[in-house]
Amino acid sequence: MSAPVTLSPMIDQLQLGSSELQPKTETDVAASFGKALADARGLEKQATDAAERFANGDPSMGIHEVIIATEKASIAVRYATTLKNKAVEAYRELMNTQV
């Protein structure tokens, strides 16, 4: 969950000249978003597994383990959503630049 979203290189490149604009930074944002999504997916799967095992009477699975797994998945999903919102917001901001 430590992948930072950095849009500043993109802005730097805009200042240098549009011919220098490469899709590299865009893949950076995409990569960190992809990682966040994959994390969220994994944690969500863990939460589902935990709930299923609890429902099936697995003695090693306590109530708090299920709730914690669910809470973790919720945080991860919200992190991914926030990341997506930020990226889209930044994109819109750039697209609205007056020329």
Binding site residues, other proteins, CB under 8 A:
1-2, 39, 62, 64-65, 68, 71-72, 75, 78-79, 82, 85-86
Question: How many whole angstroms separate alpha carbon 57 and alpha carbon 47?
Answer: 15
Structure tokens of 90? 């930044």
Question: How many whole angstroms separate alpha carbon 75 and alpha carbon 25?
Answer: 26
- Nearer to other proteins (CB atom), residue 48 or residue 82: 82
Question: How many whole angstroms separate alpha carbon 9 and alpha carbon 26?
Answer: 10
H-helix or E-strand spanning residue 58: none
| Beta carbon of residue 64, minimum distance to other proteins (angstroms, whole number) | 5
Question: How many whole angstroms separate alpha carbon 62 and alpha carbon 51?
Answer: 10
| Beta carbon of residue 16, minimum distance to other proteins (angstroms, whole number) | 27
- Nearer to other proteins (CB atom), residue 9 or residue 62: 62
| Beta carbon of residue 8, minimum distance to other proteins (angstroms, whole number) | 15
- Nearer to other proteins (CB atom), residue 51 or residue 75: 75
